[in-house]
């Protein structure tokens, strides 16, 4: 339990500090928007580029591992999408963002350190395999469905063009794609370039978390608690349960089972809010889901650590 507190508490402190300074009017809403734009369009794309360009993407890419984790993630996305529409009557654009919260686990900021603390550094091979395709898969699915929803009624060709245009104009997707190009091609960028990317990358997560704190003050859960709790349930309960069931049926090895289920049990990452903010929909739900789910995950992760072999 202490290890989980050591990992999660610093995240809350950074978010809480952002909340506090905006609440006390020491940092403006305009500053929060500018900081979120910096992380969304520059720092996080650099982080994704750096991570993917240096990962050994061929190491441990077991299709059963990916099917278990992403089967659960996709199921939660679809339940979030249609559940938000049928149960809560939200606009379709909101529904996609809500589904994205159930899809996007915090595999990097929480998944890696918690797995390492629980099972050691040697247990991280499967985590890296999941991370290698995490952002491309989640953003690819989320952007595709969002553009289909936004362009409903248009011809399939026009919708396809809109999807491709959104994908290749998105800084996060561009960072991911460039990372794969460098990784696969074996290109070795100049050292000065790598150092510059590293400098920007190191600011991505703390800046995004600080900005999220300011966003949470603006989008406090007023009137959206039912849909927020629904979304939290998808992320913390349904995703790891489905992943556990698939992993058992596919006879995953014990290390892969641990990594898949633990990663699935993580709260949505800050990118869940980044996605909602990118389209200007369901921002209150996404921001509050990240905060509440991260707090509750301290207990749900502890339960899964007791269940897993």
d(CA 125, CA 164): 32
> What is the pLDDT, as a whole number, of residue 153?
72
d(CA 62, CA 15): 35
Query: What is the per-residue pLDDT across 166-205, written as a single tens digit (0 to 9) for each?
Result: 777 778 888 888 988 998 898 889 999 999 999 999 898 8
b (16+ CB within 10 A) / e for 251-269: ebeebbbbbbbbbbbbbbb
Token match 């650099």: residue?
46
d(CA 67, CA 123): 19
Rounded to two decimals, what is the model's pTM?
A: 0.82
> What is the pLDDT, as a whole number, of residue 251?
93
CATH class of 2-307: mainly alpha
Q: Parse the chain into domains and list their residue ranges.
A: 2-307
pLDDT at 60 over 60: no
């Amino acid at each position: 339990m202490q290890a989980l507190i050591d990992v999660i508490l610093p995240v809350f402190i950074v978010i809480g500090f952002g909340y506090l300074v905006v609440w006390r009017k020491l940092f403006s809403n305009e500053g929060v928007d500018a900081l979120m734009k910096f992380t969304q369009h520059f720092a996080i794309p650099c982080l994704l580029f750096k991570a993917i360009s240096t990962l050994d993407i061929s190491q441990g890419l077991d299709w059963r591992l990916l099917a278990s984790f992403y089967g659960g993630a996709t199921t939660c996305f679809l339940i979030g999408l249609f559940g938000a529409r049928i149960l809560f009557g939200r606009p379709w654009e909101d529904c996609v963002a809500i589904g994205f919260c159930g899809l996007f686990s915090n595999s990097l900021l929480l998944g890696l350190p918690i797995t390492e603390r629980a099972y050691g550094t040697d247990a991280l091979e499967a985590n890296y395999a999941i991370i290698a395709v995490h952002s491309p898969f989640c953003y690819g699915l989320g952007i595709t469905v969002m553009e289909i929803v936004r362009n409903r009624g248009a011809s399939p060709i026009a919708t396809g063009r809109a999807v491709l245009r959104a994908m290749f104009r998105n800084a996060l997707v561009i960072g991911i794609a460039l990372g794969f190009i460098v990784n696969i091609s074996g290109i070795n960028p100049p050292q000065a370039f790598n150092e510059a990317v590293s400098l920007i990358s190191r600011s991505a997560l703390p800046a995004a978390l600080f900005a999220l704190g300011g966003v949470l003050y603006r989008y406090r859960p007023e009137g959206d608690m039912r849909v927020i709790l629904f979304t939290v349930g998808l992320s913390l309960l349904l995703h790891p349960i489905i992943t556990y069931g698939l992993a058992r049926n596919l006879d995953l090895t014990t290390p892969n089972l641990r990594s898949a289920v633990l990663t699935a049990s993580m709260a949505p990452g800050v990118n869940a809010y980044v996605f909602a903010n990118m389209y200007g929909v369901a921002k209150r739900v996404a921001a509050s889901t990240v905060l509440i789910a991260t707090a509750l995950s301290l207990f749900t992760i502890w339960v899964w650590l007791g269940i897993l072999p």
